[in-house]
């Protein structure tokens, strides 16, 4: 049994003359992600008219996008310019921690907020107090951090029989597949985590939308318009993230050796690189309040 201090990321390929083009393209992409998310966070935090539950949850979502991006993109830039695609085991687990997403939990909390606003409009302010908002956001983040920390603490003690990961970044399941010892306990824990962070939030979101559809079907035209305007961006983000998660499962669980390398890289990166840019664009373009305030901020007009 050999002890490895470095892991090799084998999904990179020689871009030759396109190396600097890839670097510039990725840099511009990172710039837009950081700008879009920071802009929306500033607009929500500074403007008093946006101190509402829905916008507080949106702010938490945008912070989550930035948190994941900081763990992936600077590393990708270095790897694009490097000829040796290796990473230390300790940094690999640090990247796993940064990339672990609370996206579905954030989206589930947001669907609960929309459910209360549409199905119980008169009691909404009673249910969604500042204290409850803070508790929901804190639970979302604490659960994600603790679950990931426990997962990494279990994985980091495994002896490794190999050091090649067929991806352009580290993920926990790829490291577990390299282990020499029995990983049954870790696999069970992984299933529990998937159930708690993906399946349960998804079922809960389906439940809230069924309730919302029932109210809309028997409500007025104004109620239906309000539901569409506030729920369509959320649904778009849920569907996009779900597609990305499916791509990630296909890449991690099944043999993709017959798939072209460019497609494999796209599948492995899609769910990490699409959300940080698509989410702020969807909400920024679809929600009139945010769109107007962003325009005012960019043109140096007063936000209030």
Lowest mean pLDDT among 86-90, 199-203, 210-214, 292-296: 292-296
pLDDT at 124 over 80: yes
Tell me if 75 sits within 8 A of 97, measured CB to CB. no
Q: What is the mean pLDDT of the chain?
A: 82
Please give the average per-residue pLDDT across 48-65, as a whole number: 86
Tell me if 231 sits within 8 A of 284, measured CB to CB. no
- Distance (Å, rounded) from C-alpha 182 to C-alpha 190? 14
| Other CB atoms within 10 Å distance of the CB of residue 180 | 12
Sheet containing 86-88: which strands, arranged edge to edge?
A: 86-88, 6-9, 164-165
pLDDT per residue as tens digits for the range 210-265: 998 888 887 777 777 877 877 888 888 888 888 887 877 777 777 666 777 777 77
Q: Which domains does the chain have, with CATH numbers?
A: 6-298 (1.20.1070.10)
Q: What is the pLDDT of residue 225?
A: 80
Tell me if 212 sits within 8 A of 177, measured CB to CB. no
pLDDT at 281 over 80: yes
Query: Helix axis angle, 261-273 relative to 275-286, nearest 10°?
Result: 50
Please give the average per-residue pLDDT across 16-29, as a whole number: 81
pLDDT at 285 over 50: yes
Q: How many residues does the chain have?
A: 304
With 0.75 as the threshold, say if the pTM is over it.
yes
Q: What is the pLDDT of residue 36?
A: 86
């Amino acid at each position: 049994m050999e002890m490895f201090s470095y892991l090799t990321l084998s999904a990179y390929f020689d871009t030759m003359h396109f190396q600097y083009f890839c670097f510039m393209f990725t840099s511009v992409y990172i710039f837009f992600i950081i700008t879009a998310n920071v802009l929306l966070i500033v607009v929500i935090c500074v403007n008093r008219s946006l101190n509402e539950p829905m916008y507080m949850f949106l702010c938490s979502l945008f912070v989550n996008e930035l948190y994941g991006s900081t763990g992936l993109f600077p590393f990708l830039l270095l790897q694009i310019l490097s000829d040796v695609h290796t990473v230390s085991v300790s940094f690999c687990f640090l990247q796993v921690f940064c990339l672990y997403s609370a996206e579905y939990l954030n989206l589930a909390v947001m669907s609960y907020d929309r459910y209360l606003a549409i199905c119980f409009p008169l009691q909404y302010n009673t249910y969604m107090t500042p204290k409850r908002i803070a508790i929901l956001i804190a639970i979302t983040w604490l659960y994600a951090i603790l679950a990931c920390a426990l997962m990494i603490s279990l994985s980091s003690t495994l002896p490794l029989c190999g050091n090649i990961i067929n991806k352009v970044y580290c993920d926990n399941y790829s490291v577990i597949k390299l282990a020499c010892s029995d990983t049954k306990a870790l696999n069970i824990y992984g299933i529990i985590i998937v159930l708690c962070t993906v399946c349960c939030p998804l079922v809960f979101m389906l439940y809230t939308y069924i309730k919302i559809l029932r109210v809309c079907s028997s409500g007025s035209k104004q109620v239906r318009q309000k539901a569409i305007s506030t729920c369509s961006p959320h649904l778009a983000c849920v569907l996009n993230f779900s597609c990305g998660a499916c791509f990630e499962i296909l890449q991690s669980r099944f043999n993709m050796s017959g798939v072209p390398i460019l497609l494999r890289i796209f599948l492995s990166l899609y769910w990490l690189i699409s959300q940080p840019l698509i989410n702020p664009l969807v909400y920024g373009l679809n929600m009139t309040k945010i769109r107007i305030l962003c325009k005012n901020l960019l043109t140096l007009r007063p936000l209030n």
